[in-house]
């Protein structure tokens, strides 16, 4: 009698049958979080994960078309242009819901007319952040519908031509404006800045069409500018705390503005009572030194804690302007001096600066000093000696010369200087 072994069926179903599709059943907030950390290209590719993920990406509020999301391996500019246009068109066609951020920045992007269509499309929604960077070709004339985007909080443009319509009354929600390599008329620029009443951050680099900068922005906190301009005036900027200014052209030694008894230095700080961080780059100190330079400002910069200056130590008036800034900053904690050399020297003796202006000035809060680009000439060493002798709580001074020529002799000279702070150390960095 044969015994037939019966197969006993399991009392629980197969794992494969009850396996829960965890990816497809993630909470919506988790899915949104995952997609927000992916490039647009990778977010679109999640559509292959499952049927439930197929259109998850179409509700993304932030659309970024850059080199990471637009990977195009071709040298054919026509092909690249068509590919970029097709991708952006496809995404906007399938997109559902609000678009809060739109960024278009690709190394091969040129100012094509299709951008007009996209801006017009965005102007009908509630876009809050718009970034357009044209890396090739001529200035792209910004489509007028951009001025209808009244919910914009951040606007960033690169290589664009701006011509706001006469009816434009400003962006009522704009807090951050970044304009680089742009062309704009003088009146249009002034109106743009003054009519954005909530503006807190303004970046302006390499601009054309205007040279007289009038900054009227009562809520401005941050201002960064670099370019060629003739004059700059702040109006009602009493909250401005961080300023970085670079003048990219030498204003010359004979520059003489009609400013009455006050020079550029006094005028510049008249509306900056709360400045905390100041960077004076390129030739801007020379601009500040034009006109009458007082021994110190009538209203001190009590909140200024960081100061960076690009200075020509051989220029008499620049040294006076730098000394005025130092005397007018009683709570300065960090100082950075970057030497700038010029072929033409100021023939006036620097001895008077040492004798008359390096007296009765203490930097009671100064802790860190960085000095770079010096060559070890007497004027530079005198300035260093002045700082060491008048900084009672100085912790570190870092010195980096422009070249190795004469560096050893300069170092020996630095070590001889008297230090008001017993804990101050001089750190020498090789050029």
- Alpha helices per DSSP H over 54-174: 77-94, 114-123
High-pLDDT (> 90) share of the chain, % = 61
Residue 207 lies in a domain: no
Inform me whether the pLDDT recorded for 102 exceeds 90: yes
The model's pLDDT over 60-72, given as tens digits with 9 standing for 90+, comes to 889 999 887 777 7
* Residue partners of 54: CB distance under 8 A and separation at least 6: 47
Residue 232 lies in a domain: no
Q: What is the pLDDT of residue 214?
A: 95
Dihedral Cα 372, 267, 326, 364, nearest 10 deg: -140
Q: Across all residues in the chain, what is the average pLDDT? A: 86
- Per-residue pLDDT band at 224 (split at 50, 70, 90): very high
CB 43 within 8 A of CB 60: yes
Residue 283 lies in a domain: yes
Mean pLDDT along residues 161-184: 97
CB 373 within 8 A of CB 339: yes
Interatomic CA distance for residues 38 and 372, integer angstroms: 41
Inform me whether the pLDDT recorded for 358 exceeds 90: no
Residue 414: which CATH number? 3.80.10
Residue 421 lies in a domain: yes
Q: Which of 57, 79, 99 is the last residue of a domain?
A: 57
Inform me whether the pLDDT recorded for 316 exceeds 60: yes
Mean pLDDT along residues 127-156: 95
Residue 311 lies in a domain: yes
CB 383 within 8 A of CB 355: no
- Per-residue pLDDT band at 109 (split at 50, 70, 90): confident
- Considering its fold, how many domains does the chain have in total? 2
Query: Angle at which helices 378-389 and 407-416 pack, to 10 degrees?
Result: 30
- For residue 1, the SS3 value is coil
Residue 377 lies in a domain: yes
Q: Which of 5, 34, 57 is the last residue of a domain?
A: 57
Q: Which of 40, 57, 74 is the last residue of a domain?
A: 57
Which DSSP state fits 346? P
Q: What is the DSSP string of 8-59?
A: PPPSS--HHHH---TTTT--HHHHHHHHHTS-HHHHHHGGGS-GGGTTGGGG
Residue 288 lies in a domain: yes
Q: What is the pLDDT of residue 171?
A: 97
CB 212 within 8 A of CB 234: no
High-pLDDT (> 70) share of the chain, % = 81
Q: What is the pTM of this model?
A: 0.86
Domain containing 39 equals 26-57
Q: What is the pLDDT of residue 377?
A: 87
Q: What is the pLDDT of residue 410?
A: 87
Interatomic CA distance for residues 266 and 375, integer angstroms: 31
Residue 66 lies in a domain: no
Interatomic CA distance for residues 329 and 387, integer angstroms: 14
Q: What is the pLDDT of residue 12?
A: 53
């Amino acid at each position: 009698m044969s015994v037939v072994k019966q197969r006993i069926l399991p009392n629980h179903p197969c794992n494969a049958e009850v396996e829960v599709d965890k990816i497809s059943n993630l909470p919506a907030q988790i899915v949104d979080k995952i997609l927000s950390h992916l490039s647009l290209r990778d977010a679109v590719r999640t559509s292959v994960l499952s049927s439930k993920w197929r259109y998850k990406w179409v509700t993304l509020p932030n659309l970024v078309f850059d080199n990471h999301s637009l990977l195009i391996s071709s040298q054919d500019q026509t092909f690249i242009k068509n590919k970029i246009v097709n991708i952006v068109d496809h995404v906007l066609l399938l997109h559902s819901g609000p678009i809060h951020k739109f960024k278009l920045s690709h190394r091969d992007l040129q100012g094509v007319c299709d951008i007009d269509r996209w801006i017009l499309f965005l102007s009908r929604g509630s876009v809050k952040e718009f970034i357009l960077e044209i890396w090739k070709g001529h200035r792209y004339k910004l489509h007028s519908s951009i001025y209808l985007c009244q919910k914009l909080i951040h606007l960033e443009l690169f290589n664009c031509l701006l011509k706001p319509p006469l009816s434009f009354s400003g962006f009522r929600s704009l807090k951050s404006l970044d304009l680089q390599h742009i062309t704009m008329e003088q009146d249009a620029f002034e109106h743009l800045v003054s009519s954005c009443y909530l503006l807190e951050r303004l970046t302006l680099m390499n601009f054309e069409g205007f040279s007289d900068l009038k900054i009227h922005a009562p809520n401005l906190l941050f201002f960064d500018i670099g370019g060629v301009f003739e004059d700059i005036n702040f109006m009602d900027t009493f909250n401005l705390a961080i300023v970085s200014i670079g003048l990219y052209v030498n204003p010359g030694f004979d520059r003489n503005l009609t400013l009455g008894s006050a020079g550029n230095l006094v005028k510049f700080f008249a509306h900056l009572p709360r400045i905390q961080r100041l960077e004076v780059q390129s030739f801007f100190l020379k601009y500040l030194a034009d006109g009458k330079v007082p021994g110190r400002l009538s209203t001190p910069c009590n909140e200024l804690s960081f100061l960076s200056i690009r200075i020509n130590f051989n220029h008499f008036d620049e040294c006076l302007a730098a000394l005025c800034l130092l005397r007018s900053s009683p709570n300065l904690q960090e100082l950075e001096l970057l030497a700038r050399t010029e072929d033409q020297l100021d023939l006036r003796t620097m001895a008077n600066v040492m004798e008359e202006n390096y007296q009765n000035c203490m930097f009671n809060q100064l802790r860190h000093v960085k000095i770079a680009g010096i060559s070890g000439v007497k004027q530079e060493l005198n300035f260093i000696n002045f700082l060491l002798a008048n900084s009672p709580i100085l912790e570190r001074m870092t010195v980096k010369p422009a070249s190795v020529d004469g560096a050893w002799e300069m170092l020996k000279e630095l070590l001889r200087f008297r230090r008001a702070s017993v804990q101050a150390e001089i750190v020498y960095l090789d050029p």
